[in-house]
Chains A and B, each alone.
Chain A
Amino acid sequence: MNAVLPSPTTIAALVKIGLLVGGLMTAAAYLVLLERWIAAWVQDRKGPNRVGIPLTNIRLFGLGQPLADGLKIILKEDFTPSHVDRVLYNAAPLLILAASLAIFAAIPFGSVLPPLGIPGLPDPVPFLVAPGLDVGVLWVFALSSIAVYGVLLGGWASNNKYGFLGGLRSSAQLVAYEIPLGLGLLGVVLAAGSLKLDRIMEAQATSGVWYAFAQPLGFIVFLVASFAEAARLPFDLPEAEQELVGGYHTEYSGIRLLLFLVAEFLHMITAAFLIVIMFLGGWHLWGVTGSAAEVSWAGALVRFAILSAKILGVIVFFMLVRWSWPRFRFDQLMNLAWKVMLPLGLANLVTVAVVEEYRPWLVERLGSSGAGWVALALPWGMFFVGWIVAGLLTPSGTDNRPIHTHGPLDAEQSLAEDLVEA
């Protein structure tokens, strides 16, 4: 019987997938509740606090709300308008959810477990669905760019002007912000010397310097671009409830709408994962988690808890930002991407390249601690220079006054004005 079972590696991968998908879906449901609580807190009102255990009077601070919301939206009528392109209309939500879940194949959600003693299983066991994937960062990047299709096709297949506009805005925004996102990410890859996300975490744990401190400019660029990629509020033009009544999912209802909303939340969770893993040290915390080589059960649990806490912190930051900045206008959005974030990202990349190229030379001249300080000072100097230049040039500031160009008839107009003056 044992011979016909799938290999332990396959079983381990399936268990990890089960844990991850279950955890992510539950987390998405409760993060919606958290978002509503934070929104209520920011707006000085009470959020959802009534739904508790069904059929009893126990309220539990409203912790039953996600269940009630989920049941409601699943049991709602799934209405398909008659004017849609049926195949694509049905495919779009599935596509976007599948892409946003598949991203997690390459994202580590903890450190490593000590060997379990099961023959055939690699030891130690990494908290990662596809540990053999050599190009984790590229995988994440590739699949996040596929998620555009869900939005684009959903908007187009709805055959609705609001949906179509939302889809167009979204695709332009996502394509534009993929470039600063990639530039921010390249700096980290260059410094860590690996495309594997677990290696990037290990590199930060080994040196003790998180890349947010070593590459402040890259961190800012990546943070802003991931807000735009997740279409969170300063960048939520694709949906823009006030202008587009929901944008690309205007025509969706019931469970298909739920798929879109869950996928959107997953984008935010992915962004939080990436920010923490690549810039905020992953599972590393000074003096608590120990070196990367140590493997123990307690250590694995502590690291998992630290990673989760950091991710929750970033998600709360996402939610607070939502109520702190107004939405950009489309030209401001594009100016920010192409005239601010792109040059800043390039400046960061060049700085990181210079630092990494001359690090051995610096170590030779100044000793390793002196070289470390120089390697920190240079990116921070670049950070302030970039900030000041971007602030002085204000490339994303816009002039709303109507543009007046002089046409031939304006000659008579100005001449008439001269006459009046004379």
Chain B
Amino acid sequence: MTGHSLLGAALPMVAAINWHSLFFLLFASLACGFALAVVFTTNVVRMALHLVLSLAATAGLFFLANAEFIGAMQLMIYVGGTLVLLVFGVMLTAQQPFVSIRTSARDQVLAGVAGAATLAVLLVAVLSVGRWGLPASGEVDAPTATPLGMALLGVRVDAAGGGHSGFLLPFEIVSVHLLVVLVGAAYLARAKRRRTPRPVDVLASADPPLAPRPAVAVPGGVTRGASRSALVGSGDAAGGGA
């Protein structure tokens, strides 16, 4: 009987919970908590992991705000892409296991200034929002992927005929930016071939350590070397040398 009355007491409590706010608080505190953990950890791999969790919680916030496309992109690009590479790089370059990082006082001051400036900008933006609350019922079920894709290609479905030109220009600028980054990365990571002189060039340059060689005096060697350089150098000498 007591079990039944307990259940009877618990169910209204469960029903009374505002699940949206609960999950918002959960994801928001996770994001903030792990962001702080990134700052205060010294182990570099743990740092990367905390960043992963913080960004994943941010993706949860996007999903909660019905911005599924942005949420999935956040998971895919930041959590699943960029940070995998970051962790990969950290793991490859760490000299000893469980390497730790100490930040210098100068860096801490700089980071504090930059962080405070960003926070000020964000606070101004947040305080300028008129109304905070759940979206109206009509806005909830709108699919997000198609209008976003259209807007990126220059067609604003949400503001038809309102003089909005879409986001084709920023999209193109970002594409060109990414292309530049790709080319740069390919240039930096290219195979750097060490130029080694061919035997003929070594003979021709006659460096001091290599110069006093008995082989130069031998007619056969010289002839072959000469013919080779002739072949490379000028066309008319090729016939006589061969």
A378–B174 CA distance with the chains assembled, in angstroms: 33
B127 to chain A, nearest CB (A): 32
A195/B145 contact (C-beta < 8 A), A135-B72, A406-B198, A408-B202 known: yes
A175 interface contact, C-beta 8 A: yes
Q: Is there an interface contact between A4 and B15, defined as CB atoms closer than 8 Å?
A: yes
A331 to chain B, nearest CB (A): 13
The interface residues of chain A lying within 8 Å CB-to-CB of B92 are: 168
The interface residues of chain B lying within 8 Å CB-to-CB of A405 are: 194, 196
Q: Is there an interface contact between A152 and B84, defined as CB atoms closer than 8 Å?
A: yes
Instruction: Name the prevailing secondary structure of the B interface residues.
Output: helix
Could you give, for residues 145-177 of chain A, a 1 whenever the CB lies within 8 Å of some chain B CB and a 0 otherwise?
Answer: 110110011001001000010011001101100
A164–B88 CA distance with the chains assembled, in angstroms: 11
A-B pair count, CB < 8 Å, reads 135
A332 to chain B, nearest CB (A): 18
A411/B203 contact (C-beta < 8 A), A152-B84, A419-B221 known: yes
Q: Is there an interface contact between A146 and B68, defined as CB atoms closer than 8 Å?
A: no
Instruction: Count residues on chain A whose CB falls below 8 Å from chain B CBs.
Output: 48
B111 interface contact, C-beta 8 A: no
Least CB separation from A415: chain B residue: B215
A174–B144 CA distance with the chains assembled, in angstroms: 28
Q: Is there an interface contact between B210 and A149, defined as CB atoms closer than 8 Å?
A: no
A410–B215 CA distance with the chains assembled, in angstroms: 14
B218 to chain A, nearest CB (A): 6
A416 interface contact, C-beta 8 A: yes
Q: Is there an interface contact between A145 and B84, defined as CB atoms closer than 8 Å?
A: yes
Q: Is there an interface contact between A407 and B196, defined as CB atoms closer than 8 Å?
A: yes
Q: Give the contacts of A366-422 with B (CB-CB under 8 A).
A: 405-408, 410-412, 414-416, 418-419, 421-422
Least CB separation from B216: chain A residue: A415
A241 interface contact, C-beta 8 A: no
Least CB separation from B81: chain A residue: A145
In-complex Cβ contact of A142 among B43, B80, B87 (8 A): B80
Q: Is there an interface contact between A152 and B221, defined as CB atoms closer than 8 Å?
A: no
A144–B46 CA distance with the chains assembled, in angstroms: 21
A418/B11 contact (C-beta < 8 A), A139-B72, A141-B76, A411-B210 known: no
Q: Is there an interface contact between B75 and A142, defined as CB atoms closer than 8 Å?
A: yes
Least CB separation from B143: chain A residue: A134
The interface residues of chain B lying within 8 Å CB-to-CB of A132 are: 141
A55 interface contact, C-beta 8 A: no
Least CB separation from A1: chain B residue: B11
Q: Give the contacts of B1-57 with A (CB-CB under 8 A).
A: 11-12, 14-15, 43, 45-46, 49, 52, 56
Q: Give the contacts of B48-107 with A (CB-CB under 8 A).
A: 49, 52, 56, 68-69, 72-73, 75-76, 79-81, 84-85, 87-88, 91-92, 97-98
Interface centre among B14, B45, B207 (most CB of A within 10 A): B45
The interface residues of chain A lying within 8 Å CB-to-CB of B72 are: 135, 138-139, 141-142
A152–B49 CA distance with the chains assembled, in angstroms: 11
Q: Is there an interface contact between B45 and A149, defined as CB atoms closer than 8 Å?
A: no
A408/B196 contact (C-beta < 8 A), A132-B141, A143-B75, A422-B220 known: yes
A174 to chain B, nearest CB (A): 8
Could you give, for residues 187-209 of chain B, a 1 whenever the CB lies within 8 Å of some chain A CB and a 0 otherwise?
Answer: 00000001011110011000100
A220 interface contact, C-beta 8 A: no
Interface centre among A85, A139, A414 (most CB of B within 10 A): A414
A135/B91 contact (C-beta < 8 A), A148-B80, A419-B221 known: no
Q: Is there an interface contact between B98 and A159, defined as CB atoms closer than 8 Å?
A: yes
In-complex Cβ contact of A419 among B11, B196, B218 (8 A): B218
The interface residues of chain A lying within 8 Å CB-to-CB of B15 are: 3-6
In-complex Cβ contact of B11 among A4, A138, A408 (8 A): A4
B131 interface contact, C-beta 8 A: no
Q: Is there an interface contact between A146 and B45, defined as CB atoms closer than 8 Å?
A: no
The interface residues of chain B lying within 8 Å CB-to-CB of A422 are: 218-221
A88 interface contact, C-beta 8 A: yes
A133 interface contact, C-beta 8 A: yes
B203 to chain A, nearest CB (A): 7
Least CB separation from B79: chain A residue: A146
Q: Is there an interface contact between B88 and A168, defined as CB atoms closer than 8 Å?
A: yes
Q: Is there an interface contact between A412 and B210, defined as CB atoms closer than 8 Å?
A: yes
In-complex Cβ contact of B221 among A149, A153, A415 (8 A): A415
Q: Is there an interface contact between B80 and A410, defined as CB atoms closer than 8 Å?
A: no
Q: Is there an interface contact between B80 and A156, defined as CB atoms closer than 8 Å?
A: no
Q: Is there an interface contact between B218 and A138, defined as CB atoms closer than 8 Å?
A: no
In-complex Cβ contact of B199 among A148, A175, A411 (8 A): A411
Q: Is there an interface contact between B143 and A149, defined as CB atoms closer than 8 Å?
A: no
In-complex Cβ contact of A410 among B69, B81, B199, B219 (8 A): B199
B213 interface contact, C-beta 8 A: yes
Q: Is there an interface contact between A146 and B80, defined as CB atoms closer than 8 Å?
A: yes
A421–B52 CA distance with the chains assembled, in angstroms: 66
B224 interface contact, C-beta 8 A: yes
Q: Is there an interface contact between A152 and B91, defined as CB atoms closer than 8 Å?
A: yes
Least CB separation from B199: chain A residue: A411
Q: Is there an interface contact between A153 and B14, defined as CB atoms closer than 8 Å?
A: no
B144 to chain A, nearest CB (A): 6
Least CB separation from A155: chain B residue: B91
Given contact pairs A4-B15, A85-B45, a sample of 14 additional A-B residue pairs in the complex whose CB atoms are under 8 Å apart: A135-B144, A138-B69, A143-B75, A144-B80, A149-B87, A164-B91, A167-B91, A406-B198, A408-B207, A408-B210, A415-B203, A415-B221, A418-B224, A419-B220
Q: List 19 A-B contacts (CB under 8 A).
A: A1-B11, A132-B141, A133-B68, A142-B80, A143-B80, A145-B79, A149-B49, A149-B52, A149-B87, A152-B84, A152-B87, A171-B88, A175-B88, A410-B199, A412-B210, A415-B199, A415-B215, A415-B221, A419-B215
8 smallest CB-CB distances across A and B, nearest first, come from A145-B80, A422-B220, A142-B75, A138-B72, A411-B199, A142-B76, A411-B202, A4-B15
Taking beta carbons and an 8 Å cutoff, which residues of B are in contact with A? 11-12, 14-15, 43, 45-46, 49, 52, 56, 68-69, 72-73, 75-76, 79-81, 84-85, 87-88, 91-92, 97-98, 141, 143-145, 194, 196-199, 202-203, 207, 210, 213, 215, 218-221, 224
